[in-house]
Amino acid sequence: KAGGAYVPLDPGFPPDRIAFMLADSDLSVLLTSSDVLAGLGGVKAQPLCLDLLGDELAAESAEPLDVDVRPDDLAYVIYTSGPTGPPK
């Protein structure tokens, strides 16, 4: 509904794996928490720490956004890999 795709990242993953997925996916915005962000280095995406935005988020409208979303737009990216090798 917002017009963007999401990439779920597990904060329990090794830092090098998360760094690879962040760089490979070329995220523009990273929704996270301040404690998780502190453990990530060199994030190029704009971080939005949800734990610090509580009042601002509560003040936002719940009305649908006026965004052109088409059926062929990307919805999400899921990285998988075996026990060895980089995420793909």
Please report the DSSP string for 26-81 in residue order.
T-SEEEE-HHHHHT--S--SEEEEGGG-HHHHHHS--SPP-----TTS--B-----
* Residue 87 or residue 68, greater confidence: 68
Rounded distance, CA 73 to CA 21, Å? 20
* pLDDT the model gives residue 3: 79
Q: Which fold has domain 1-88?
A: Rossmann fold (3.40.50)
> Is 9 within 8 Å of 21 (Cβ atoms)?
yes
* pLDDT the model gives residue 82: 62
Burial label for 84, CB within 10 Å (0-12, 13-18, 19+), is exposed
Q: Kindly report the pTM of this predicted structure.
A: 0.78
Amino acid identity of 30?
Answer: L
